[in-house]
Structure 1
Amino acid sequence: MKNVAVILAGGSGRRMGGSLPKQFLVLGGKPIIQHSIEAFEKNTNIDEICIIIHSDFIQEIENILIEGQIQKVKHILPGGKERSDSSLAAINAYQKESNVSLIFHDAVRPFISQDIINNVIQEVKDGKSVAVAISTVDTIFQINEKNQIVSVPQRNLLRRAQTPQAFSYNVIKSAYDIALNDPHFVATDDCGVVLKYLPSESIFIVEGDESNIKITFEQDLVQGEIILKEK
C-alpha cells in the first residue's frame, strides 16, 4: 500500500496576528509547518506527501521545500473554505491511483512522533481506519443551549482527539461521496464524516502523546519552545 501523508494547512487564520497564517510562525528557527512536513519526510513508511495550502501561500511552501531539501512532496494543492474542502482536494488528487492510504495531519501539530506515525501506518496496513487520541484527565460536561449541564460522560470512555487520522482511499472516498449527496452535510473532521456516512466502518484509536499539541494561540508557541528544548 502507498502511504500518503496529507498535511492540512488550507486555512488562512491569523489568530496570533501578523500577515501570515499561524502555520508559518517560527518555532525553533523554522516555520511550524516545516516541522510537520519534516516529520513525515524522514519516516521510511511514508511514500509521499501532499500539502493543502491556501492559494495565497503556495510560494511560501515552495520556498520551505527548497530550503529544507524536502523530496517527498508530490502535490501542493489549494484548500477551500471549509475543512472538508482540504480533505476533498487530496482525495481528488489520488482518484486515479489504487491501493493508497491517506494519512491526514494538521500542519500546526509540529511534534508528531515517528512512533505515532508508524503505529498509524501499521493499523491502516491491517485494514483499519484510524484516529489518534489521548485520555482526558478532566471531567467533561455536556451542556444544552441554555448553558446547563445535562450529562457527565464517563471519563474513561472519553479521548482528546489529535491527528493523524488515516483511512484507505476507498473508505474515505466512499464516505465523502455519500456526504456530498446530503444537502444537510456540515463540514467536520474526517473521522466525523466516516462515522456518520459509513457507520459500519469501525475507527480504531492509536495512542497519541501529550507533546503532539496543536499550535493555535500564543501560549502554545511558548509550550512548543519548551517541548523543543526537552527533545
Structure 2
Amino acid sequence: MPTETAPGPASGGRTRPRVTAAVLAGGTGTRMGGELPKQLLPLAGRPIIEHAIAAFCAAPDVDDVIVVMVEEQVPEVEKIVADAGLGSGTGGKVTAILPGGATRTASSHTALRALDARPGTDLVLLHDAARPLVSAGTIRRCVGALAEVGAAGVAVPSSDTVVAVEPGASGGEAIRDVPPRTSLRRMQTPQGFRLDVLRRAYELALADPGLVATDDCGVVLRYLPDEEVRVIEGEESNIKVTNPGDVEIAEVLLRLRDAGGAS
C-alpha cells in the first residue's frame, strides 16, 4: 500500500515558506528497453531514484519530500526509502510515496492533490526522478526565485542550433524556421511554484478537454498567461537519464562531482 505520513511540524517562529519537493516517477521509462522503470536502474550502486530523493532530503531549502511512482513499483520505492534512511521517521524527509499516472501531467496532479489534502505547504518543487544529479545550488536558486515570481523553471542555454520542421514537398521533413539560438533554452527540473499558482493553473488545465502537456511550467504559461515564469540557471550535469548510454554518462558525472570536479 502507498505510504503517507504527516509532514514534520513547522519550526517555531518560521520566517520562510514551507517547501515540499515532489519527485515524479510515474512513467515506465520504455526507451531504456529493460523490464524495470529507468528510475529503478542502478547508478553507482544505488537506484537512480534514490539519488534524486536523497538530493532533496539533503537540501536545506526543502522541508519535506513526496514521491510519485508508477503504482506497481510503489513497494519497491518504499523499500528503497526505508533502506536508505530517507523516510521522515528515520531522519530523512520523505513523508509520502504515492501511485502516479501514466503521464507527467497525471503524476503532477497526484502530487498536487496530496498537497491540497495536507495543508501547510507554500511552495512546491516538481522534479523528474530520472534526474539524479540535481545539485543543492540548483534547488536553492529555484526556491529563491519564488520569493519574487509564482513559477520558475531550471534551464540551460542551447549549444545546438534548433530548427522547426514541417513535412517536405518531396517527402521527409523540411526546415520551416531557424529560431535564434540566443532565445532558446533546454528545460530541466526542478520546476518551482507557489502552490496557489500551480493549483489555479491545473484547475483550468483539467477543465480543458484539449489538454496536452508534458511540462508544468508550460501548464502555467498556457493557462495563466499573465503569470511570469522565470528561467533559473541550471547545470549541464543535471542530465535526464533517458537512453541506455545516459547511465554511463551519469556515472562519470557523479564520479567527477564526488571528486569536486563537476559543477
- Please classify the TM superposition score into its range, dividing by the shorter chain length: over 0.9
Aligned to 2:232: 206
Aligned to 1:129: 151
The alpha carbon displacement at 1:99 in A equals 5.1
Aligned to 1:68: 84
8 Å CA contact 1:50, 1:75 repeated in 2: yes
User: Among residues 109, 122, 143, which one is paired with 1:100 in the alignment?
Assistant: 122
Aligned to 2:223: 197
What's the TM-score, normalizing by structure 1? Answer: 0.96
Residues in 1 aligned to 2:120 and 2:47: alpha-carbon distance in whole angstroms? 33
Q: Structure 2: which 5+ runs fail to align? A: 1-16, 87-91, 258-263
Summarize deviations over 1:115-160 as a string: whole Å, max 9, x none: 0000111111334310000001111111113321111101100001
Q: Map of 1:175-194 to 2, 5 A cutoff?
A: 175-194=201-220
Q: Structure 1 98/72 Cα, relative in aligned 2: closer, same or farther at 3 Å? A: closer
Residues in 1 aligned to 2:211 and 2:82: alpha-carbon distance in whole angstroms? 39
User: Quick check: 1:219 aligned with 2:256?
Assistant: no
The alpha carbon displacement at 1:20 in A equals 1.1
Aligned to 2:195: 169
User: Among residues 29, 34, 45, which one is paired with 2:61 in the alignment?
Assistant: 45
User: Among residues 19, 40, 53, which one is paired with 1:24 in the alignment?
Assistant: 40
Q: Structure 1 153/34 Cα, relative in aligned 2: closer, same or farther at 3 Å? A: same
What's the TM-score, normalizing by structure 2? Answer: 0.85
Aligned to 2:112: 91
Summarize deviations over 1:188-224 as a string: whole Å, max 9, x none: 2101111100000010011101100000111101111
Of all paired residues, the percent bearing the same amino acid is: 41
Number of residue pairs matched? 231
Residues in 2 aligned to 1:91 and 1:99: alpha-carbon distance in whole angstroms? 11
Q: Structure 1: which 5+ runs fail to align? A: none
Structure 2 letter corresponding to 1:159? R
> Which one has the largest radius of gyration?
2
Structure 1 letter corresponding to 2:25? A
Provide runs of 4+ in structure 1 moved above 2 Å.
13-19, 125-128
Structure 1 letter corresponding to 2:60? T
8 Å CA contact 2:149, 2:230 repeated in 1: no
Structure 2 letter corresponding to 1:77? L
Q: Structure 1 57/219 Cα, relative in aligned 2: closer, same or farther at 3 Å? A: same
Summarize deviations over 1:158-204 as a string: whole Å, max 9, x none: 00110010101110110010111112111321011111000000100
User: Quick check: 1:144 aligned with 2:166?
Assistant: yes
Residues in 1 aligned to 2:159 and 2:23: alpha-carbon distance in whole angstroms? 29
